[in-house]
Amino acid sequence: MELFSIFYVVIVLYLCYMVWKLFDKRRDQECYILAYQCYKPSDDRMLGTDCCGKIMERNKNLGLNEYKFLLKAVVSSGVGEKTYAPRNIIEGREANPTLNDGIIEMEEFFNDNIAKLLAKTGISPSQIDILVVNVSMISSHPSLASRIINHYKMRHDIKAFNLTGMGCSASLISLDIIKNIFISQKNKFALLVTSESLGPNWYSGNDRSMILANCLFRAGGCAMLLTNNRSLKHKAILRLKCLVRIHHGAIEDAYNCCTQKEDEQGKLGFYLSKNLPKAATRAFVDNLRVFSPKVLPTREFMRYMIVSIIKKLNRNSSPKIATPNKSPLDFKSGVEHFCLHTGGKAVIEGIGKSLDLCDYDLEPSRMTLHRFGNTSASSLWYVLGYMEAKKRLKKGNRVMMISFGAGFKCNSCLWEVMKDLVDTNVWDDCVHHYPPHSLANPFFETFGWINNVQEPTTFILSDFLK
């Protein structure tokens, strides 16, 4: 009997040990952000209204109809006149870009931004264990990751990943790579670098489906430092709760809706299809199906079931009323803040309508689009920076990020805020001006007269600009 008791105690202790070991292991698999640093190019790269006029005038492939299209696209895009462009475009060399233009654009970002991030955190380059770089539209040899390693003299055993072609959703894909590495390796530092190379990819033709990208995409980038070291939890600003990735590459219209290609004249650019909204909606819905059970409380699903049953019972007794195309679930029951991909005004408004978000919820994304434009994969972090600069992010808050990318992909994740955040990041000199009284673009005030021109054969833009 005594032997049985000892055996029983040993079994109980062993089970307790295994449960503790499993719990302890999970604590080492957390993904924390220690800091992030968005990139603000120098003011001489600012793409104001006058600069836009000069770029338009330099493109000899444009006619009156293309100018009118550009006017409508820029005015309705939600992009302001204080965004940034690559240096070769500002200098008037966009029609004949070189590979070196793209590399210089990226190195200017790397050398400035990563240095600021490391100085902010007090981490030296030699402490970085993992480096993930995502820049979609440039591939150089040596890789961009290798250039960073060389510039900052990082360790020889660093695990480096260089992603291209992932589109505007690439930063969450990079995050997923780091998260999976953290599961199997303890006490690691990871550097995530996200940007886009616009210099070699500025479109100088006259295909409207490719001109549109010039109106939306702007220079930017972000670098962030992550860790799974539990002893640094008190220094962390965000903790990753979950991440969901959806890829519709097997669906032909979704696969072909965003592509980098050459037009009929051989000019390289980024093509945006009319099927893009449909592809984005389909991917977004599939993403939410997986994402919502991970983040919403049980009471919200109970409410949804009860409401659905009541609607079904009353369906035959009441006349059918058209309802807006929005999610039947209340995402605000599990999320306080929403970082939406700044793919354009229509993208932000469409997601806002689907999730039934108010102006307060959409303000960070709208203001980011107005101030910095669509900075591709890094845009989510500018939106987060706006929230932080406005002192919205409080300890315990949950932040949802949603991004879309060519392929076609829709990725989302949920963060938990670890402490009250007050850093102004790149918004330090302008956040007090936002939101402005009006988001109207002065482009129309300057170039609205184009709509009154009726003679396309004799029209010369330079004559009017004088």
Kindly list the catalytic residues: 168, 247, 337, 341, 370, 374
**269 has which bridge partners?**
261
Q: Are 31 and 226 in contact (CB under 8 A)?
A: yes
Q: How far apart are CA 136 and CA 163, in angstroms?
A: 7
- Cα dihedral 5, 6, 12, 14, rounded to 10, equals -160
With H, G, I as helix, E, B as strand and everything else as coil, classify residue 81.
Answer: coil
Q: Which residues, listed in sequence order, are joined to residue 270 by a DSSP beta bridge?
A: 260
Using DSSP, state whether 272 is helix, strand or coil: strand
What are φ and ψ of residue 82, in 5° steps?
A: -120, 25
What is the rounded distance in angstroms from the CA atom of residue 411 to the CA atom of residue 283? 9
Bridge partner residues of 132 (DSSP) = 161, 192
Spatial distance between the Cα atoms of 33 and 190, rounded to a whole number of angstroms = 9
220, 270 Cβ separation under 8 angstroms: no
Please give the sequence-ordered ranges of beta strands (E in DSSP) within 139-267, or none if there are none: 159-163, 189-195, 221-227, 238-247, 258-262
Which single residue is written with the structure tokens 């070769």? 88
* Tokens describing residue 175: 């995050």
Tokens of 120: 């902010």
**Which burial class, exposed, middle or buried, applies to 122 when counting CB atoms under 10 A from its CB (0-12, 13-18, 19+)?**
exposed
Beta-carbon contacts of 106 under 8 Å, excluding residues fewer than 6 positions away, are 135, 138, 144, 147, 195, 197
Write phi, then psi, for 429 (nearest 5 degrees). Answer: -100, 0
Q: Are strands 337-340 and 398-405 parallel, antiparallel or unpaired?
A: parallel
Burial class of residue 252, CB neighbours in 10 A (0-12, 13-18, 19+): exposed
